[in-house]
Structure 1
């Protein structure tokens, strides 16, 4: 537990200053509507097969996913380039680096998994 919860503070101390940006109803609704749109369009693309090519559909869906991540970061997590959020942004960059390394390593292992497997034997020839 934090000692801040039980500590006596000087008069005028506020843990959340009023000049700090907070989310508004309009901002949350904008983020919600954008999130619904950015979810419905890829769903429609996949279910209808509108693009015709599975690989192209996959890339378009991933593009929508990246845009939706950015929408969530801006409207719900309130991440921006201000100095106050510097540590949050630094933590995000570190997290992205770790996720990219993990995904790249996993894809690399899965891609080369077939060459490292034992050859297939016919089970009918076994005694």
Structure 2
């Protein structure tokens, strides 16, 4: 075994997105096809759950959220190659920063929309101004 193999372990034990997994082009295509199959399966499952009576009505949003989180995980690992390995620390930090920015924008937008009514002129005064 070379030093590279000892550091990262056997190629078969590597995560799907691990850059040090090596392997042939055929192995990489298999990983992408597996990711595609999982992504399509999760998408079809989402549409099926939304259109069927399998899940109790109020539980449908929770089921769709769970499938969406699984879909995000599939895309991160199989297509964006973000894994928990030490060489992916910068990618993981960039992803976390991006998620933070998106959350700030969404939470800020919801907060502003929730407080719009408070900052608006009462309807009776607005009607008096239009006359």
Could you tell me the TM-score, scaled by structure 1's length? 0.69
Q: If each structure's helix is expressed as a fraction of its own residues, which one has the higher value?
A: 2
Q: Deviations over 1:47-100 (max 9, x none)?
A: 23543525x322221221111111111111111122221111111111111111
Counterparts of 2:54 and 2:122 in 1: how far apart (Å)?
A: 40
C-alpha root-mean-square deviation of aligned residues, in Å?
2.7
Match of residue 33 from structure 2? 29
Could you tell me the TM-score, scaled by structure 2's length? 0.67
Matched, 1:20 2:20: yes
- How many positions carry a matched residue from both structures? 108
Counterpart mapping for 1:1-127 below 5 A: 20-21=20-21, 24-48=28-52, 50-54=54-58, 56-121=59-124, 127=131
Pair 1:120–1:103, CA change in 2 (3 A)? same
Q: Show structure 1 runs of 5+ residues with no match.
A: 1-18
Q: Show structure 2 runs of 5+ residues with no match.
A: 1-18
Counterparts of 2:76 and 2:21 in 1: how far apart (Å)?
A: 14
**3-state SS of 1:24 partner:** helix
- How far apart are 1:38 and its partner, in Å? 0.9
Counterparts of 2:65 and 2:32 in 1: how far apart (Å)?
A: 23
**3-state SS of 2:90 partner:** helix
